[in-house]
Every structure is written in C-alpha cells, then in structure tokens.
Chains A and B, each alone.
Chain A
Amino acid sequence: MRLPTTTPRQQSRRFPGLVVGAVAVLALSACTGSAEDAADDEEGGSAPAAAAQGSNDEEGDTVTIGFSAPAADHGWMAAITNNVRDLAEQYPDLDLQIAEGTNDVNLQISQVETFINDGVDAIVLLPFDGAAMTPIALEAMEAGIPVINVDREFDDPNAARVTVLGDNYGMGVSAGSYICEQAAGDEDVVVAEIAGIDALPLTQDRSQGFEDALSECGLDVDARQAAEFTVESGEEVASQLLQSESQIDYLWNHDDDQGIGVLAAIENAGRDEFVMIGGAGSANAMRDIQGDNGVLKATVIYPSTQGADGVKLARLLVQQKGVADLVEVEVPRMVQLYAPVVTADNVADYLGSAFES
C-alpha cells in the first residue's frame, strides 16, 4: 500500500550521522537538497520550488488543479499557500484554483465538492483534519479525480493517489543525532525538550524520534515540557523549565513559532550555558543561527514547501510524466520529505526557502 521511496542522494554524504534511523527520504525540491545539488541544476534554481526537473518543466497540456488548505493562522501554514502560489506562476500550463484557507471541515468539504463539480484535473488537499476529509477525498477519487494528500494523512489509503508528508519522527531523530554528535560521547550532559501540543500525534512522533536517537548514544531527555505552538505558551513553558533546571546543555524546541517565546524566556532568565535547537525552520530562526547571536545554533526543517511539491506532483501526474530522477515510470504513491539539520555551516542553503513566522 504505502511505498516510501528512498533516494541515495547527497544527504548521507553531508550529514553522515543524521541519516542513521531516519525513515524514507526523497529530496524532491532544492529545499531539502543541499548546495551541491542546487549548483548542479541547469537553471541554477534561485527559488527552491523551481528546482529543475529536466524536460518535465517543458510546457504541456494545461492542468487545472484545485488546492485547499487550513487557515493561515501561523507562519508555516501561510508559507504553504504562498509557496503554492509562487509555483503556479512559474508554470504557464498550471491553472490553479486556490480555495479560501479554512479550519471549518464543513466548508473545506464544500470546497472539494466545488472542485469535483468543476471537473478539475487533480485536487491537492492539506486537510484541516485528515480523517474528516477522507469521505470527500474518496468521492473525488471515485469521480476519477486524483487527490494529492499533503501533510495530514487521510485514514484510508484509497483516498489519495499521492501522499506528500513531512517527517515528524525524522525531525526528532535529526535533532537527537545532532546532540549526540555535539556531545561526542559525553553521557553526563543534560538534555531538555520543549514539545508542541502534546495530544497531537505529530508531537508524539517528534518526541519518540528524539528519544530513540538520543538513546543510540546513551543519552536521554532529562526535562520535558509541552507548549502549544504559540509564542505565549513557548515563553511560559520555557520560563518554568529554566526555573526548575539550573544547568542545561542541550535544549530542543519543536517549533520555531513558539521558539520566539522560548528565546524571550531564555533572554529574560539571562541564561546562555546551553545550545538550543529549533524546529520547522522559520526564517528568523535561521537568521539567528546565521548571525550566531544567541543560544540557537541549529534548527530541524519541516518543509513548508510540501503543498508546492504536491501541486508539482499533481501536474506531472495529470500530464502523465514520471518524476525525472527516478527510474520508475509513474509518480510515486508516497513521498516523505527529509528533516535536515540547519546549522551556521549550511544555513545559506536553506534560508531562501524558509518561512517568515
């Protein structure tokens, strides 16, 4: 059913330690690629989403794609739709219909119904709630319209032709492996974690990956708190954590939006003895890393380009093209994006594709 595709591309060369334990990876856009990769591109791809795919970029039959995503209530989600719009401008053969971003499943279902009525060629859907959008996605598939499911999975594999996912478990693994690398065998270091909303499966996956990667080098999480992805909650939870832990060596914060609050709390407490790692990969987090002006030394990416990748795959699918660098004829069933670690060394490669929070 799910066939994760792997690619033996550059990641293993660049971050040998990070790939250990990482799950399926496919670097489709330069966002998840590295500098060498971008330089190899014939077009030099300035915008990440424009990473060239050879003859696949040549204009083909016009493809009408319906796109629907939740309300842009935080930086990452806003970036999803912006990246989709930017991509559509680069392809004259793409006729993109973007529905209003909404957190109301009732309305999102109606948007998909409208796409079905319209007879679009494909639907790219980032559901507010994957399970709740499953019946209507099934209906679209039954009507012969391929559905590309982005980020939040349907509960029925038949409801999507292609699924594009980030790698939450992999984020935890990347963050954990980075700490292992930095700690270099010292098993006495104190590791702290500030998670996102604890009840969400994605948070549990991230924490699990973190724990698993740390245990590989004999470390564990000494202190853990859960915030709520908001600046306020990040500030609140981080001050509590700093109060209770007088000495920290490494701190992983799951989300750069809440990270603004976490950094504020760290500054207020006047602490600077530890290394902080972020998550998601916002532009201001990356600028902090680049400027080396604080405790934030790295962040783990959760690509905000997955909607754009979904649209790109939908276009290939409808034009009956395959993914250029794969031998496989058809567009894969599932694509899971990589969660690379961004540090001062490679931040320049990723800053261009980062989202503003």
Chain B
Amino acid sequence: MSKHSTTHGVEDTATASSETVRVEHAAAESGGTSRAAGLMSGPFGRNLGLVVALLVICLVGVFTAGDRFASVNTAMTILRLAAVVGVVSIGMTFVIIGGGIDLSVGAILALSSVWATTFATQAMAADTHWLVMVFVALAVGGACGLVNGVLIAYGNIVPFIMTLAMLASARGLAEIISERRTQIVTVDGFKDFWSADVLGVPLLVIIFALVSVGGWVLLNRTTFGRRTLAVGGNPEAARLAGINVKRHTALLYVLVGLCCGLAALMLIGRTSTGSSTHGTLLELDAIAAVVIGGTLLTGGRGTIVGTVIGVLIFSTLSIVFVLNNQDSSTQAVAKGLIIVVAVLLQQRLARRSIST
C-alpha cells in the first residue's frame, strides 16, 4: 500500500502511461491513502467539482424559487425522483467500472415491472403473499442480467451489442406479455408497503440510501469491489493475478439486473402499475449520472459517491426547471451544458488538487 501512495502523485502528472499503473492507481484509491494530497486526489477531490455543481444548482433554485425550493417537501420530491434512477445507476457504476456497459437497464426494468404485475402473478400474490411479486421482479431482473453476463463473458459478445440486443428483446417481450396495456396493481399489501413513509421519509428514498451504502461497501470494502476495479482496469493483469475474470464479469451484469428488478418494484410502488413503457431511456439517465460522477467509461475507476451526486444533480435540475416554469427545449439544452460544465469543472479541480 505504501508503494502505491508514493507512486501516486508522479503517476497522475505523467498521465497514466500504462494499464498496469492504472490498476495500481485504482487499487490505491480504493484502499484509501493517508497523505493529504492523496486524499484530495482521491474520491473527495474528484467529487468536489460535483458537489460544487450540485450546490450551484441548489443556489439557482433558492434564488429563483426561494422558499418553494428550500423546503423539506421539495427535498423529498427530488429524492423520490432520484430513487429509481439512483438504484439502477449504482448497478451501472459496477458494470462500467468493470469495463462494460449496460444499455438494457430500462428494458429490463420494464420487463420486470410487467412480469411482476401480470394477472397470474397478482392472483398468486393475492393467494399467498405480495412478496411473490418482489421475488418475480428480482428473478426476472437477475435472469436478464445473467443472460447478458454469460453471453458477454463466455460468448465473447461485445457488451454494447449484447445489451443493445437485450434492450430490444426485453422491451419487446414486455410488450407481448402486457399486450402493450398498462397493468394495474390490485394487491393492497404491496401498494401499502411500497408507498409507505418511515418517519416521514419515503420508503423509496430509504431503499436508495441503503443501496448506495451497500454499493459503497461492496466496492470499497470487499474483495468483490477490488476485483471489479482490477477487472475493469486491466483484465489480463487481473487474470494473471488469479481472478476469474469471466465469472466476475457475468456477476456484474447479474448485479445490475437485480438493481433493475428492485427499481422496477420501486416504480410499481410509485405508479401502482406495471407497463412496457416504464423506464424508457432510463439507460441514458443512468449512464449520464455515472459518467458525470467521475467513473471512467473505459473502466477501472469510479466511485459510488460520485454516481449518487450525479443522480442528485439531474433530479435537482429537473425540479428547479419545473419550479421556474421552463419549457422542455430550454431544459434539454441546459442539461447538455451542465453535463459538459460539470465534467470540465471536475477535471480541473481534480488536477489542481493533485498539483498542490
């Protein structure tokens, strides 16, 4: 670990020259460094730009909407909006750090939501327990992820292509099962549980928080997390280090699939429906959040905290726009600008914090 700390500063100014260095870099970050400079260039330093961006958006909200923005209710609205995308983005962070990408998250979410709310599933849930629906959604999500993962890892299909195929077929299957109709949830136990508040905090927000903390622990405090960074940084080196790269890659897609199943349940709870149109373009929101969160699209580096802030930036922005009565075209332009500005700001701050 001490070797990593000493090579750290040099390596960043010289801009990572080889893949091996990048793996070490990633390992150093996940292990945490003791020196102040190391700290700044670690997750904290890189997330500073994001925090600034989020604060700026909040300030804009306060200046333009005043008390209407700065209220507990608005905060809860932002968090509820962030929750569904957030859970999927956490899963997406793992896949992207592991050197892959998953374009099928929205489609998997739609399929899970439809399958968990079919007449047959609901009848079974009514006879037994609403947990049947939870099981179905998670099983469908996990199974789709497994198909993605196995075909990518063992079938050697490029992740982009494989998940593109899954995007088309999962949503198609969702349309076939639901006959393109919205399926309404009639199981009261399910509706009551998923739309509940715990001590004034919506359950959806609590789930998002738990998944975030769980994701952080998994990435930073377990062998699974370190393997993910190693596999994404340099698969060959990871293989030589004795990691079963194929199995690990497959597991990452199962993980994001399970996140989609969970997000489907959250959306079913929020809308009391399952539909083949749920989660349309969710993959873009999730990837955007992960990328502005500082995760490298090429893999090997990324943080959960960054992703969470990334998700919050977009949901806060949406609400600020609603409060300010802005039309959709202006909002689309502003979103694009903010992605670019956030990433630029984040690069600059990260570089400066390293040089000091």
Q: Which residue of B lies closest to A95 (CB)?
A: B325
Q: Which residue of B lies closest to A129 (CB)?
A: B182
Instruction: From A100, A109, A110, A117, give the contact of B326 (CB < 8 A).
Output: A100
Query: Which residues of B have CB within 8 Å of A114?
Result: 74, 77, 319, 322-323
A 96-132 to B, binary, CB cutoff 8 A, 1 in contact else 0: 1111111111110111011011100000000011111
B interface secondary structure, majority: helix
Query: Which residues of B have CB within 8 Å of A129?
Result: 182, 271, 273, 275, 277
- Interface status of A248 (Cβ within 8 A of chain B): no
Given contacts A132-B272, A132-B273, contact A100 B77 (CB under 8 A): no
Q: List 12 A-B contacts (CB under 8 A).
A: A102-B328, A105-B278, A106-B84, A106-B267, A110-B78, A118-B68, A118-B323, A130-B182, A132-B182, A135-B270, A199-B179, A201-B181
B 247-278 to A, binary, CB cutoff 8 A, 1 in contact else 0: 00000000000000000000100111101011
A 217-231 to B, binary, CB cutoff 8 A, 1 in contact else 0: 000000000000000
- Interface status of B180 (Cβ within 8 A of chain A): yes
- Interface status of B22 (Cβ within 8 A of chain A): no
Q: Which residue of A lies closest to B183 (CB)?
A: A131
Query: Which residues of A have CB within 8 Å of B354?
Result: none
Q: Which residue of B lies closest to A106 (CB)?
A: B84
- Interface status of B280 (Cβ within 8 A of chain A): yes
Instruction: From A71, A100, A118, A132, give the contact of B271 (CB < 8 A).
Output: A132
Given contacts A106-B270, A110-B81, contact A98 B73 (CB under 8 A): no
Q: Which residue of B lies closest to A135 (CB)?
A: B272
Q: Which residue of A lies closest to B277 (CB)?
A: A129
Report the bound CA distance from A200 to B275 in whole Å: 13
Q: Which residue of A lies closest to B278 (CB)?
A: A105
Q: Would B275 and A110 count as touching, CB distance under 8 A?
A: no
Q: Would A110 and B319 count as touching, CB distance under 8 A?
A: yes
Residues in B lying within 8 Å of A, measured CB to CB: 68, 71, 73-74, 77-78, 80-81, 84-85, 175, 179-182, 184, 191, 195, 267, 270-273, 275, 277-278, 280-282, 315, 318-319, 321-323, 325-328, 331
Q: Which residue of A lies closest to B72 (CB)?
A: A117
Report the bound CA distance from A71 to B328 in whole Å: 8
Query: Which residues of A have CB within 8 Å of B278?
Result: 105, 132
Q: Would B181 and A199 count as touching, CB distance under 8 A?
A: yes
- Contacts A100-B327, A131-B273 known; list 18 others, CB within 8 Å: A71-B328, A97-B322, A103-B277, A103-B280, A104-B281, A105-B270, A106-B271, A109-B270, A110-B315, A128-B277, A131-B271, A131-B275, A132-B275, A133-B271, A135-B191, A135-B270, A197-B180, A200-B180
Q: Which residue of A lies closest to B331 (CB)?
A: A100
Query: Which residues of A have CB within 8 Å of B322?
Result: 97, 99-100, 110-111, 114
A37 to chain B, nearest CB (A): 32
Residues in A lying within 8 Å of B, measured CB to CB: 71-72, 96-107, 109-111, 113-114, 116-118, 128-135, 155, 197, 199-201
Q: Would A117 and B331 count as touching, CB distance under 8 A?
A: no
Given contacts A109-B270, A118-B323, contact A100 B318 (CB under 8 A): yes
Query: Which residues of B have CB within 8 Å of A110?
Result: 77-78, 80-81, 315, 318-319, 322
Query: Which residues of B have CB within 8 Å of A201?
Result: 181
Query: Which residues of B have CB within 8 Å of A102?
Result: 328
Q: Which residue of A lies closest to B319 (CB)?
A: A114
Q: Which residue of B lies closest to A72 (CB)?
A: B328
Given contacts A71-B328, A106-B270, A110-B77, contact A131 B184 (CB under 8 A): yes
Q: Which residue of B lies closest to A152 (CB)?
A: B182
Q: Which residue of B lies closest to A85 (CB)?
A: B327
Report the bound CA distance from A100 to B73 in whole Å: 20
B262 to chain A, nearest CB (A): 14
Instruction: From A71, A134, A197, give the contact of B272 (CB < 8 A).
Output: A134
Q: Would A107 and B81 count as touching, CB distance under 8 A?
A: yes
Q: Which residue of B lies closest to A138 (CB)?
A: B272
Q: Would B327 and A98 count as touching, CB distance under 8 A?
A: yes
B105 to chain A, nearest CB (A): 13
